[in-house]
Amino acid sequence: MKTLSSLSDMTGRRVLITGAVGNLGRVMAATIAELGASIILLDRPGSNFANLEEQLTQNWGIECLCIECDLELERERERAIATIKADGKGLSCLINNAAFVGTSSLEGWSAPFQHQTHSAWRRALEVNLTAPFHLSQAFTNELRAAKGGNIINITSIYGELGPDWRLYEATSMGNPAAYGASKGGLVQMTRWLATTLAPDIRVNGLCPGGIFRNQPSEFVERYEQRTPLARMATEEDFRGGIAYLASDLSSYVTGHILRVDGGWSGW
């Protein structure tokens, strides 16, 4: 019988994490590094890679490759793909974590439905759905050749459930149609890829609930009241899920959406 430590050991594997410098990406990177894999950190131009790279290499002694890439632009994705393929080190796991979440100041994003713009819609779908499709397609051969090759798509409760608008009353927060639609598409693409790329590549989704990011107190209180575990998530809550899906702990799991939402979807 294999030990749990051997199943979770990712020494000798290489993992690409998009949106790696963000709050959730950093925790995923630290988790994967602790399991022994080398990491490709990919994020937008101007991202502060240095601090994260130093932390990972000093704490875990793993190899890091940092790549600036605007996932909204196909030519940028092509360049990043070529860079990763060029060194011939392969890829064991692709984590499609980067997401277009917009801001309340972006025109046509956090707005009433009739004022949400086509341009904001297109930008969200390009990053949240087209980019994961493009990267998954581009690295299929590398993942097939790798031990334990797998893809993890970071979805959302709003890719499966509609928003409860009572949470947002008297706040400037919104829940754009493009975000939910793009994440819903990512859920279905996860299942489609799981049956299409099997048996060589496993494809799963990690579905986060709301993460505390200093939202207005009214929103936080309502969210906590609506959640069985009575709190919003922290980034640390996703370490177990990502370790499970990325490693051989989940070697017989594919096409699964792992919900880490404090019970939100259980009502």
What confidence tens digit (pLDDT) does each residue in 169-211 have? 999 899 999 999 999 999 999 999 999 999 999 999 999 999 9
At 96 the three-state DSSP class reads strand
- The domain segmentation of the chain, as residue ranges, is 4-260
Nearest by Cα to 30 from 95, 81, 126, 75: 95
Backbone angles phi, psi at 92, to 5 degrees: -100, -30
At 236 the three-state DSSP class reads helix
Q: pLDDT class for 101, splitting at 50, 70, 90? A: confident
What is the torsional sign of CA 3, 7, 8, 14?
A: positive
What confidence tens digit (pLDDT) does each residue in 32-86 have? 999 999 999 999 999 999 999 999 999 999 999 999 999 999 999 999 999 999 9
pTM of the model: 0.97
| Catalytic residue from among 158, 179, 223, 244 | 179
Q: pLDDT class for 107, splitting at 50, 70, 90? A: confident
Q: pLDDT class for 13, splitting at 50, 70, 90? A: very high
Calculate what percentage of the chain has a pLDDT beyond 90: 94
What's residue 104's pLDDT?
63
Quick one: fold of 4-260?
Rossmann fold (3.40.50)
pLDDT > 90? residue 30: yes
Secondary structure element (H or E) that encloses residue 119, with its range: helix 118-125
What's residue 102's pLDDT?
73
Nearest by Cα to 95 from 186, 211, 219: 186
- Judge whether 179 counts as a catalytic residue: yes
